[in-house]
Structure 1
Amino acid sequence: ENLSDEQLYQRFWEMTAKVVDPLLELGQKHTTPSIERSVLLRMGVSSLEAKPIVEGCIDRGLMGKGAGHVVYKLAKAKGISIRDAGILLAEGKSWDEAVALFQRKEV
């Protein structure tokens, strides 16, 4: 096919979406508490904090969003470090705010 630069650009992103979308779906539907704790550990959250964060995500229906994503969004919204956001959640604090961050419509 002889595609213009714009058509080639569009085709590239269409094909990329076809490859990436199933991977995203797998990650959203097939995560486990163990995987989520592992992600949190790599983000700098201690193992003692990771367990209550993952349990909090499960209790609030946020597992599909990813525990690391929950901590990251809370940190960004509050203007604090990921570590500090993790500590808050592990202590049972700021969960209402975290849940609300995922209820808003993203534009």
Structure 2
Amino acid sequence: MLQNDNNELNTSSLAMNALDNIPSPGPNAKNIVALVKHSGKVTGYQLSDGSTLSKEEGVALAKNGGINGVGISHRNGQEYLKSLPDNTENNNLSSLPTVSENSVQG
């Protein structure tokens, strides 16, 4: 069992090292409850208060402590949010429901 525990720690450590920034959430931080997608790509986040943010706005809010359970990573020069690794799949951003961009536009 010790070997399995070490593997989980190593996997978690590697995932944490892949993050550029791990902001500390503030007392009023929201949770991401859904991903906003357009043509299969994440373009934003829906929060627990019902608001919807673009990917860039989500990153900025997370950096200011406004979102729980996420870190910031980058790909191709763009920052995006990733779930903090905790060995639980059901709270990963990729496991969240998707809302279409059209359904959240006012």
Larger radius of gyration: 1
The two structures share one fold, judged by TM-score above 0.5? no
Q: TM-score, normalised by structure 1?
A: 0.33
Structure with bigger helix share is: 1
Q: TM-score, normalised by structure 2?
A: 0.33
Structure with bigger strand share is: 2
- Higher relative contact order (Cα pairs below 8 Å, separated by 6+ residues): 2
